[in-house]
Structure 1
Amino acid sequence: MNPLPALPACCTPLDDHWPLPDALPDTVLLSTRFDPSLLVPDDFRRSQIEPPPSVQRSVAKRQAEFLAGRLCARAALLQLQGLDCSPAIGEDRAPVWPSGICGSITHSTGHAAAIVAQKADWRGLGMDLENLLNAERAERLAGEILTPAELKRMAAGRREQRALTVTLTFSVKESLFKALYPIVQQRFYFEHAEVLEWTDRGQVRLRLLTDLSSEWRNGSELDAQFAVKEGQLLSLVSIRA
């Protein structure tokens, strides 16, 4: 097995620390910090990562986050199954994983991560990283992200938790979409799922509010988990095989 190319200066060494409350067996999760100001034009070629035209034309921030995410994904695939490849972007904008593999890539300000597993172990994985919303922005966005029932539960809770509630709800619904879309091949949106409950320990319970397939119907419930660190919230939805 050939070693991977050296990481570019814009990325820190890959970290295999599990950042969430409950580690998933038979998965590989890797993360890195990245600094767009350290990106140089030759980094993609030297890293052997092929950026799509839309990324090539984009600003340094978008290029650095794409590169960092793909570097995590490629190293995770190599560690999981000895595959030296980087997932391309499909027509639906989702990563195209090798046959028999599921995974998820995420990034936010200065931080990227990827998780992969064999479909024999996990049918779907969805991971999302978000900067914590401030109170003013959370109040403004709540009506677009939360269902009426979620808004009612948030209003009954502690006021100082509202920004976290909105950020968490946004993130776990993004993770839910990433986990389920490859299975159902049908788009759905914030109003099509709701957070039933969540705990300070990082446990979340979700419920679908629409039919997505004969298996995933209105009322289906799933678990998620999350963690908050350094002003960012990471969430993960995992569906067992």
Structure 2
Amino acid sequence: MNRLPTCCAPLQHHWPLPHPVPGAVLVSCAFDPAQLAADDFQRAGIVQTANLQRSVAKRQAEYLAGRVCAREALLRLDGRDYVPATHEDRSPIWPTGIHGSITHGQGWAAAVVTAQGTGLGLDQETLLSEERAARLAGEILTPAELERLDRSQQALTVTLTFSLKESLFKALYPLTKKRFYFEHAELLEWSADGHARLRLLTDLSAEWHHGVELDGQFGLQDGHLLSLVSV
């Protein structure tokens, strides 16, 4: 019987985003690296690789929390008991026919899975301070995004742009196997209701090429931003 690791709070089965994705299941949990117990991987029934054994408690706890959420999401999706292993490129290995994404930040992890569509990308970020957002804006935003930037919402906009581009990457990388970076996509628009629109600025494949536009969504709570791109 798989048990919840000591470092993880009870799992939450909810949809903390404004627009439900048909057929998708999202599970999250809070976690505390300081509460990581020596037998937490064994307790949860999750394999601790040699790399994880050498890593710090924070990395171990976030990996464990993310995989616990992923297993529970798959269990709720179709009844299978499965923990995603990891590709050499560090992306999760999902069962055939399943699309999913895992994210973890400061003390919170989540996983989303579906058997519909072609890809999912989920990302969580802590809201940047105004000072840090100002420093990072030039690295994260394209020249066009910088021109459109409302300085009165700079921290939120830079955090949101970062997160949505991360979600976009997570959704498209499994489909194209091509890496791309912040300058290869732009956030065209976003609204307070949690809707966003993105555009690719590079060619990844015949289907996913320069100029293709995609929808994204996001939610903000307690200084944490969660974004999702589904395709």
Whether contact under 8 Å (2:121, 2:171) holds in the other structure is yes
The equivalent residue for 1:123 is: 118
**1:71 match:** 68
Aligned to 1:20: 17
> 1:58, 1:41 → 2: CA distance?
13
Instruction: Tell me the equivalent position of 1:226.
Output: 218
For 1:51 and 1:130, the matched residues in 2 are separated by 26
Contact 2:3-2:45 at 8 Å conserved across structures? no
Q: 1:63, 1:75 → 2: CA distance?
A: 18
Q: Percent identity?
A: 64
Give secondary structure in 2 for the equivalent of 1:116. Answer: strand
**Secondary structure, counterpart of 1:234 in structure 2:** strand
Give 5+ residue unaligned stretches, structure 1. none
TM-score (norm 2): 0.98
Report the Cα offset of residue 9 of structure 1. 2.1
> Aligned residue for 1:170?
162
1:103 aligns with 2:103: no
| Partner of residue 92, structure 1 | 89
* Pairing partner for 1:151 from 141, 146, 155: 146
> In angstroms, what is the RMSD of aligned CA positions?
0.9
Q: Which residue of 2 aligns with 1:207?
A: 199
In structure 2, what residue type is equivalent to 1:142?
Answer: A
> Partners in 2 of 1:17 and 1:76 — Cα distance?
11
Q: Aligned to 1:122, what secondary structure does the other structure show?
A: coil
1:136 is displaced (CA, Å) by 0.5
For residues 136 and 81 of structure 1, what CA distance do their matches in structure 2 show? Answer: 45
| SS in structure 2 of the partner of residue 186 of structure 1 | coil
Is the counterpart of residue 195 in structure 1 residue 192 in structure 2? no
Deviating runs (4+, > 6 A) in structure 1?
none
Q: Equivalents in 1 of 2:125, 2:157: separation in Å?
A: 12
| Equivalent position SS for 1:123 | coil
User: Residue 175 of structure 2 aligns to which amino acid in structure 1?
Assistant: I
Provide the TM-score with structure 1 as the length reference: 0.94
Distance in 2 separating the partners of 1:128 and 1:54: 23
Distance 1:53 1:185 in 2: 26
Q: In structure 2, how many angstroms separate the alpha carbons of the residues matched to 1:144 and 1:152?
A: 14
Q: 1:37 deviation in Å? A: 1.0
Distance 2:66 2:8 in 1: 10
1:59-99 deviation per Cα after TM superposition (whole angstroms, max 9, x unaligned): 11111110000000001111111111110110111000011
The whole-number CA distance in structure 2 between the counterparts of 1:160 and 1:44 is: 45
Give the deviation of 1:51 after TM superposition. Answer: 2.5
Q: For residues 84-131 of structure 1, what are the alpha-carbon distances to aligned partners after superposition, in whole Å with 9 as ceiling and x for unaligned?
A: 11101101110000111010000000000000011xx12100000001
Alpha-carbon deviation of 1:13?
A: 1.1
Q: Note the residue ranges of structure 2 that are not aligned, 5 or more in a row.
A: none
SS at match of 1:164: helix
Residue 185 in structure 1 maps to residue 185 in structure 2: no
Q: Tell me how far apart the structure 2 counterparts of residues 210 and 169 of structure 1 sit (CA, whole Å).
A: 17
Distance in 1 between residues matched to 2:175 and 2:16, nearest whole Å:
26
* Equivalent position of 1:29 in the other structure: 26
Q: Report the alpha carbon displacement of residue 52 of structure 1 after superposing the two structures with TM.
A: 2.6
